[in-house]
Amino acid sequence: MIGASTRLVAIIGAPIAQVKSPDIFNRHFEDNGLDRAMIAVDLTAAQVADFVAMVRGWQNLDGFVVTIPHKNAMARLIDDLSPRARFLGAVNVVRRHPGGHLSGDMTDGAGFVEALRARGFSVEGKSALLIGAGAAGSAIAQALAETGLAELSIQDIDAMRAKILVAKLAAAFPQCHCAVATGDMRPFGLVVNCSPAGMRDLEPPPVAQSIIEMMPADGLGAEVITSPEHTLFLKAAAARGLAVQTGVEMAKAQFQLLAQAMGIMDGDHHA
């Protein structure tokens, strides 16, 4: 139970009720007898700058996770960015140093690749289709390109956004062939939905059935969405007998990365 001396971390976003981090972190804190808690902060975009200003004086807060739609705004508000956060212009985790200095990282891509590694799926030499060139999609694209992917097709309802991401990746990772997806029918070994399409079960899945049909037998369908855990896209991929990776698996793989980024793994505060 939270008390007056409990040290806090937060996750900020809007909406927030669907995120899994509070359950994962608070279960860890409880299992390890730590006087720590993660709170979920449902925060409107207009107040993100006020939140950052206030956090500088929030002395029992060690850091916070950032989720939709605040990842890009956060990158412009804090003091230091990791190289990958700077490349992506987005931040999903911020550490509050004593005195109020704020440093940020973007671990969505590393978390996604770590989840793939944990299940024994190798991206080296493969071709992938990625849907959604927003903050999470860009981070996953960067991590996949860095990890040895051979080809990456990127699709977004905002064609310019996809084009800009492709150009940035092409410049930074010349060994990975990046292109805007053109609707061509190719057998993608990995299809990742990084768009919010699928958060409501009634929406059409963001991946055409014909794409799923063409995937090789060792192909994998992956999601960033955590709720519902099994989206219509993942259900369609599973129905074809393909392996699937849920957003919840990615969230779990990210736990260590986020905790380290907030500096709460060493010198944990025991109750």
By beta-carbon proximity to its own copies, the closer residue of 11 and 145 is: 11
| Nearest-approach distance from CB 115 to its own copies, in angstroms | 20
By beta-carbon proximity to its own copies, the closer residue of 8 and 238 is: 8
CA contacts within 13 A on the Cβ side of 40: 17
In degrees, to the nearest 5, what angle opens at C-alpha 180 toward C-alphas 171 and 175?
35
Residues, the chain, total? 271
* β-sheet bridge partners, residue 193: 131, 223
By beta-carbon proximity to its own copies, the closer residue of 154 and 251 is: 251
Q: Which amino acid is at 127?
A: S
By beta-carbon proximity to its own copies, the closer residue of 120 and 200 is: 200
For 199-228, letters b (16+ CB in 10 Å) and e give beeeeebbbeeebbeebeeebbbbbbbbeb
Q: Are 42 and 11 in contact (CB under 8 A)?
A: no
Q: Binding residues for its own copies, per CB under 8 A?
A: 1-6, 8, 11, 14, 16-23, 26-27, 30, 37-48, 50-51, 53-54, 56-61
| Nearest-approach distance from CB 2 to its own copies, in angstroms | 6
| Nearest-approach distance from CB 202 to its own copies, in angstroms | 21
Contacts of 252 by beta carbon, 8 Å cutoff, 6+ apart: 20, 24, 115
Helices (H), 60-184: 71-75, 83-88, 108-118, 135-146, 159-172
Contacts of 117 by beta carbon, 8 Å cutoff, 6+ apart: none
Distance CA 34, CA 242 (A): 40
| Nearest-approach distance from CB 236 to its own copies, in angstroms | 27
Helix (H) / strand (E) containing 13? strand 7-13
By beta-carbon proximity to its own copies, the closer residue of 8 and 164 is: 8
Q: Is 20 a catalytic residue?
A: no
Instruction: Name the active-site residue from 71, 126, 163, 235.
Output: 71
By beta-carbon proximity to its own copies, the closer residue of 67 and 195 is: 67
| Nearest-approach distance from CB 106 to its own copies, in angstroms | 21
| Nearest-approach distance from CB 14 to its own copies, in angstroms | 7
Q: Which amino acid is at 37?
A: A
Catalytic residues: 71
